[in-house]
């Protein structure tokens, strides 16, 4: 009996997975499932939780593919500028119905990696790490990271 109880504690008692990093001091980063999407312009992973008859995007990490070719097992530098204006390749967004709109500072350092292709109807896995640029924004210098297994619609 004690072994079963210990196993439940170690398994997290069935709690939803959660992203990590210092951003958790400000926002709830628990999610129910992850989805990945690849288009000609960008690749992204979105962490989703149901909310009423809709869903919340707990966090979405996007990388613009301008000037690079998406390849599995190749890290994408999310902080790399993609234009002369210094706009970083990556962005982070959040859309939660019960919260006011949130903006995040530019990515100061970060990577996104998919371990396999992002093909419709499949599943992919990967990892990401983001450190927001230093500045005066409440999220400046904060981190968020995680490993994922994502469905591809």
User: Is pLDDT of 22 > 90?
Assistant: yes
Cα 17 to Cα 89: distance, rounded to the nearest angstrom: 27
Cα 129 to Cα 3: distance, rounded to the nearest angstrom: 35
pLDDT digits (tens, 9 = 90+) for 81-98: 998 888 899 999 999 998
* Percent with pLDDT over 70 in the chain: 91
Cα 132 to Cα 80: distance, rounded to the nearest angstrom: 13
Cα 60 to Cα 53: distance, rounded to the nearest angstrom: 20
DSSP lists the bridge partners of residue 54 as 51
pLDDT at 89: 97
Whether the CB-CB separation of 45 and 60 falls below 8 Å is answered with yes
End-to-end alpha carbon distance in the chain:
41
pLDDT digits (tens, 9 = 90+) for 36-59: 999 999 999 999 999 888 899 999
3-state helix, strand, coil in the chain (%, to 5): 10, 45, 50
């Amino acid at each position: 009996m004690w072994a079963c109880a210990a196993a439940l504690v170690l398994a997290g008692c069935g709690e939803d997975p959660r992203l990590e990093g210092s951003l958790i001091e400000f926002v709830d980063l628990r999610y129910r499932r992850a989805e990945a999407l690849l288009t000609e312009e960008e690749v992204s992973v979105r962490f989703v939780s149901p909310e009423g008859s809709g869903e919340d995007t707990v966090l979405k990490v996007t990388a613009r593919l301008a000037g690079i070719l998406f390849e599995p097992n190749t890290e994408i530098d999310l902080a790399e500028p993609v234009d002369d204006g210094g706009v970083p390749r990556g962005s982070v967004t959040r859309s939660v119905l019960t919260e006011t709109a949130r903006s995040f500072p530019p990515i100061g350092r970060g990577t996104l990696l998919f371990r396999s292709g992002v093909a419709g109807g499949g599943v992919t896995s990967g990892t990401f790490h983001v450190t927001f640029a230093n500045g005066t924004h409440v999220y400046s210098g904060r981190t968020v990271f995680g490993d994922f297994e994502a469905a591809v619609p």
